[in-house]
Chain A
Amino acid sequence: MKAFIVFSIFVLLLPLLVTNPYYLNVLAFVGLYSLVTLGLSVFIGYAGQISLGHGAFYALGAYGSALLGIYCPLNPWLASLIALLWTSLLAWFLGYFILRLKGHYLVMATLAVNLIIYILLVELEEFTGGVSGLPGITPFCLFSFCFADDRSNYYLIWGVTLFFLWGILRLLGGRIGRELKAIKASEQAARALGIPVVRYKVAAFTFSAFLAALAGTLYAHYLTFISPKSFDIFYSVEVVTMVLVGGAGSPWGALLGAFFLTPLPQVLEFFEEYKDIFYGMVLMLILIFCPEGLVSLNIRAHFGDIRSGTDPNMRQGKGIRPRSFKA
């Protein structure tokens, strides 16, 4: 928890140092990405599953609340709430079917979900605005105060993200975290121990989809304009990459991945033409030489307890060691 408090203070004080709206915008986006990667790190790092379809839930959150706000004029908060509810329901329903799949089949199924949603967003043009996007989404307002500029949205987004980071750290530090790790280590062994594997997987999937949808609604009402391009499979691949680059074994890895990869394309603008080449190379080098993610680098030496939000027995994503079973 100490690490969490330090991190929260850092995040809340950051806008005092960063006044340039462009940088604030990038940092707000780091928050949006973090929200999604936090959910995914539970699904990937703990439940040991893989999804390349979270762009779909991000889209359903964003388009759901934007369309509700436009077609049956609802207040943005209510519209977001309804969008979140039905996206989570859909994810739960889908999860029951596709989480029976394993490995490459699961990857393909989640990709297919993402591709289908994307095609629908583009093709249902009169309803969603098609490729050219959907403008004129109203921002969130509290009484007379509206979250319209970068700074207020930064606080809104990071407030939500910190809340869920706290929740996830609490959740994973306990029994649920251990049982999810057991599923990752060996599904059959977990089942033999009486862990309801399917229910856990579906719950982790639904939770991560919920967070993606939440990020989607925040995104839509922050930018007030959305287009399908932001919700394609490249987005889904990008967020999973963030989780792996940061380190799939802990929520801090998810945050670190978002902090590192969100601004990287902008930083690499320096190389202009060669941007993609460098981006691809950085990804490969990190994954090749630092397989446990950036979080496993010397940070551990400096802040020994940064990963203590999770059970120390479970470091390095190697699953539960036998002594955890003693109880």
Chain B
Amino acid sequence: MDLLILCQFVLAGLSAGAVYALIALGFSVVHNATGIVNFAQGDFLVVGAFVAYSVLVSWGLPYWVAFLAAVFTAALVGFLLERWALSRSRSKEILLLVFITVGASIFLRGLIKEIWGKRPFVLPPISETREISWATFAIDPQYFWIIGITLLAFASLHFFFRHTLWGKAIRAVAIDAEAAALMGIPVPWAVAASFALAGALGGLAGVLIGPIWPLSFESGVHIGLKGFAAAVLGGYGSFGGALLGGFLLGLLEGLGAYFTSSLKNLIAYGILLLVLLLRPQGLLGEKVQERL
């Protein structure tokens, strides 16, 4: 019996982990293109979830429309953040660009509060059935949607970056922007596309987690931090690392919640700190050789 409850916690942890992985992936995509941390990543998630809420509940449209609208809107927000703010920065110093995204995050939170108010929202579940049960074992099918769609998103992103011309162009920019420009790749557009992609991933994560967690205009900060932690845990910038870090962090949290619900975050961050001390480049990160 206890084992069943443990399984529930593990599954809940893994689905939270899937969302962290999507956020971590958003961090990695932006990092690879520009080298910065985008602190507005968590707010993309909230934008996505709230757009989906408006489409689903206020306008009564079907779920696939909500999915598209959420992903598209969040992608647009990411795109505009890059075009209107970051690309106009006079200095390209990383620290400054990072804090421009901090400003953008505050701005977005204010905007979300203005449009949707302070009340938290819960999205309706994706599938009609409330739970799948075998004897005493009951599972919310939403968990499977979350984990399945996350894996699908990873697979398609992998395909995009490895096998399409656009994906290869963005990777080329990540490796050496100057050389990429000389090869005729429109670098500013590749960077903006990365932000749009990060936004889309955030929006997707928002629609997925919306039915399980009540989200309010401020939720983005802490979910974004968890995603950042996941990205660092796995190795910043690595896609496999984002996936591993996300699921690992979610699992740790799930197990932590099973043993002591109030201190689950303490356990997650404590272990993160420990991993960083033992392996400063994250689990899957490569040790970078520095040169003068």
* A binding-site residues for B, Cβ under 8 Å: 44, 50, 97-98, 100-105, 107-109, 111-113, 115-116, 119-120, 123, 186, 188-189, 233, 237, 240-241, 244, 248, 273-284, 287-292
Assess the B96–A287 pair: CB atoms within 8 A: yes
A101 to B275, CA, bound (A): 12
Contact (A287, B89) CB under 8 Å given A276-B110, A277-B110, A277-B114 = yes
Assess the A244–B232 pair: CB atoms within 8 A: no
Task: Judge if B108 is at the interface, Cβ distance under 8 Å.
Answer: yes
Residues of B within 8 A of A282 (CB): 103
Assess the B273–A109 pair: CB atoms within 8 A: yes
Assess the B229–A244 pair: CB atoms within 8 A: no
Task: Judge if B236 is at the interface, Cβ distance under 8 Å.
Answer: yes
Taking A279-B107, A279-B110, A288-B90 as known contacts, 9 extra A-B pairs with beta carbons closer than 8 A to each other, sorted by chain A number, are A98-B273, A108-B229, A112-B269, A115-B225, A119-B266, A244-B99, A277-B114, A284-B107, A291-B91
Task: Judge if B270 is at the interface, Cβ distance under 8 Å.
Answer: yes
A120 to B282, CA, bound (A): 25
Q: Which of B37, B88, B110, B292 contacts A107 (CB 8 A)?
A: B37
A283 to B189, CA, bound (A): 25
Assess the A186–B113 pair: CB atoms within 8 A: no
Q: Which of A103, A109, A120, A283 contacts B106 (CB 8 A)?
A: A283
Assess the B277–A98 pair: CB atoms within 8 A: yes
A282 to B99, CA, bound (A): 12
Residues of B within 8 A of A287 (CB): 89, 96, 99-100, 103
Residue among B228, B229, B276 with max Cβ neighbours from chain A (10 Å): B276
Q: How does the 8 Å CB contact mask read for B205-249 relative to A, with 1 for contact and 0 for none?
A: 000000000000000000001001101100010000000000000
Task: Judge if B265 is at the interface, Cβ distance under 8 Å.
Answer: yes
User: Chain A contact residues: over half helix, strand or loop, or mixed?
Assistant: helix
A292 to B37, CA, bound (A): 20
Residues of A within 8 A of B96 (CB): 244, 287, 291
- Please give me the 3 A-B residue pairs with the lowest Cβ-Cβ distance, nearest first: A280-B107, A276-B110, A291-B91
Contact (A105, B276) CB under 8 Å given A244-B95, A288-B85, A291-B96 = yes
| B200 smallest CB distance to A (angstroms) | 22
Residue of A nearest to B260 (CB): A123
Task: Judge if B281 is at the interface, Cβ distance under 8 Å.
Answer: yes
Q: How does the 8 Å CB contact mask read for B254-273 relative to A, with 1 for contact and 0 for none?
A: 00000000110110011011
A-B contact pairs, 16 of them (CB 8 A): A44-B95, A97-B277, A100-B280, A101-B276, A101-B280, A103-B94, A111-B225, A111-B228, A120-B266, A276-B113, A279-B110, A280-B107, A280-B110, A284-B85, A290-B90, A291-B96
Residue of A nearest to B31 (CB): A104
| A104 smallest CB distance to B (angstroms) | 5
A108 to B285, CA, bound (A): 15
Assess the B111–A277 pair: CB atoms within 8 A: yes
Task: Judge if B126 is at the interface, Cβ distance under 8 Å.
Answer: no
| A239 smallest CB distance to B (angstroms) | 12
Task: Judge if B128 is at the interface, Cβ distance under 8 Å.
Answer: no
Task: Judge if B55 is at the interface, Cβ distance under 8 Å.
Answer: no
Contact (A105, B236) CB under 8 Å given A280-B106, A280-B108 = yes
| A234 smallest CB distance to B (angstroms) | 8
Residue among A100, A108, A278 with max Cβ neighbours from chain B (10 Å): A108
Q: Which of A44, A113, A277, A280 contacts B273 (CB 8 A)?
A: A113
A282 to B107, CA, bound (A): 9
Residue of A nearest to B269 (CB): A112
Assess the A116–B107 pair: CB atoms within 8 A: no
Assess the B229–A112 pair: CB atoms within 8 A: yes
Residues of A within 8 A of B225 (CB): 111, 115, 233
Residue of A nearest to B290 (CB): A188
A102 to B94, CA, bound (A): 13
Q: Which of B85, B111, B263, B276 contacts A108 (CB 8 A)?
A: B276
| B42 smallest CB distance to A (angstroms) | 12
A213 to B80, CA, bound (A): 40
Residues of A within 8 A of B103 (CB): 241, 280-284, 287
Residues of A within 8 A of B272 (CB): 108, 112
| A246 smallest CB distance to B (angstroms) | 12
Assess the B276–A237 pair: CB atoms within 8 A: no
Assess the A123–B262 pair: CB atoms within 8 A: yes
Assess the A119–B263 pair: CB atoms within 8 A: yes
A119 to B262, CA, bound (A): 9
Residues of B within 8 A of A105 (CB): 232, 236, 276, 280-282
Residue of A nearest to B232 (CB): A108
Assess the B104–A280 pair: CB atoms within 8 A: yes
Residues of A within 8 A of B269 (CB): 112, 115-116, 119
| B194 smallest CB distance to A (angstroms) | 16
A291 to B97, CA, bound (A): 9
Task: Judge if B102 is at the interface, Cβ distance under 8 Å.
Answer: yes
Assess the B265–A283 pair: CB atoms within 8 A: no
Residues of A within 8 A of B150 (CB): none
| B278 smallest CB distance to A (angstroms) | 10
| A132 smallest CB distance to B (angstroms) | 16
Assess the A123–B276 pair: CB atoms within 8 A: no
Residue among A240, A280, A284 with max Cβ neighbours from chain B (10 Å): A284
Assess the A288–B100 pair: CB atoms within 8 A: yes
Residues of B within 8 A of A279 (CB): 106-107, 110
Contact (A277, B107) CB under 8 Å given A116-B269, A189-B292, A244-B99 = yes
Residue of B nearest to A102 (CB): B280
Q: How does the 8 Å CB contact mask read for B76-99 relative to A, with 1 for contact and 0 for none?
A: 000000000100111101111001
Residue of B nearest to A233 (CB): B225
| A196 smallest CB distance to B (angstroms) | 18
A107 to B27, CA, bound (A): 14
